[in-house]
Structures are given as structure tokens and as C-alpha cells.
Amino acid sequence: MLKYIKNHMETIAGIEIYPIISLLIFFIFFVALFWWVFSAKKDYIKTVSNLPLDNQQNDDIL
């Protein structure tokens, strides 16, 4: 089955660009995520990390 798919894919013109594009998207996403994690303000991180433990707001909703 894999041999059939590989032979079929080799006959398509211009298909070699898709793995390169997917690698670039993957790399850019994780570089941007890495940059966001290290540049995020510590107050924002602390506020977001305490949201699940904030019972006062959860009691108001229920």
C-alpha cells in the first residue's frame, strides 16, 4: 500500500514543496510560541494561572 502511494506521489509535479511548507509552518509556530512565552508579562501569567483556583467567580456563575 505504501509503495503505491509513494509511486503515485512521485508522479505529481511540484509536490516536493508541501513538506517544506509544512516544516516552515511548524517551525514558525513554535518559534512564535517560544517568543510569546518568554515575553509575556509575569502579572498576566500569574493571573491566568490562578483562574482555575478562583472560587469566588465560579460561585457567582453557578
How many domains, the chain? 1
Q: How many residues does the chain have?
A: 62
Asked if 22 and 16 count as a contact pair (C-beta separation under 8 A), the reply is no
How do residues 22-62 score in pLDDT, each as one tens digit? 999 999 999 999 999 899 888 888 888 888 777 765 555 55
pLDDT value at residue 33? 95
Q: State the residue range of the domain holding 54.
A: 2-61
* pLDDT at position 61: 57
pLDDT of the residue at 15: 83
35, 29 in Cβ contact below 8 A?
Answer: no
